[in-house]
Amino acid sequence: MPADSLFLLSLATKMAVAAGFVIAATVIAERAGAFIGSLIVTLPISTGPAYVFIALDHQADFVARAALTSVANNIPTIIYTVIFVFLAQRFSALVSVATGLFAWFIVTILLNLTTWTLLPAIALNIVFVTVFFFVVRRFREAPMPKLPLRWTELLLRAVIVSVLIAAVVTLSFTIGPELTGILASFPATFTSTMFILHRRVGGPATAAVMAHSLVGLLGFSFCMAVLHLAAVPVGAPVALGLALLFSVSWNAAVLLLRRAGVPL
């Protein structure tokens, strides 16, 4: 098979696999309610596949450097989420998502004027999550209607994450690890969930899912930190497994604490 055809086939396979993960996760989130839904959407279900494909194409050092950028670039996603929570109470899905995404791009540009090391990046994540946790707490309770799924909405979710994966796979060879880390951590799952759920169940119910997600987002920053620290010493494949294990364990611990009465 010609090299170009082999690359396109490989790219199409990667896009389809990642889209399947995201569709399954977001459907579960919609069916399980705001709190459980927030735990699902904060798992690395779009970033994880992106990093798997990055690891297939690059050395461990590249993966580690990209993951460090993803730790810092979790901050724009936190800000995007908070803006959406407030705007979704009154405005349409398009306005709420577009405004949040605009803020994401601006904060991303400003953050990456600085070269980050791990501890300051983690510390900034902790500060932002702690502050905004209390700011959006009053928006966390809203009824979640149970509505039938439409194939067009599933297709939209697949398209959003497929575009992300295609961009990561094709651009990572030319843009370097730092920009690859930014691209890989683009909140594709959040964006598709916000847009589709807002149109289906309304702004307050969607905002409730997002308001619950801040603790999970903090876990995501630690997940990327695990990948950064482990990629070179143990190799990218093992590091990816450790990062996923950490993310799942973090969200499971949040669930257990919540059931024990801790107001997370």
Task: Give me the DSSP letters along 217-257.
Answer: HHHHHHHHHHHHHHHHHH-HHHHHHHHHHHHHHHHHHHHHH
E strand segments, 72-132: none
Tokens of 15: 């896009």
- Of the two residues 93 and 165, the one the predictor is more confident about is 93
Q: What is the pTM of this model?
A: 0.87
Backbone angles phi, psi at 194, to 5 degrees: -55, -50
Say how far apart CA 137 and CA 213 lie, in whole Å: 11
pLDDT for res 200: 80
List pLDDT tens digits, range 25-67.
667 766 777 788 888 888 887 788 778 878 888 899 999 999 9
**Exposure on the CB side of residue 45, measured as CA atoms within 13 A:** 30
Q: What b/e sequence results for 142-154 when a residue is b if at least 16 CB atoms lie within 10 Å of its CB, and e otherwise?
A: bebeeeeeeeebb
Q: Where along the chain do its domains lie?
A: 3-259
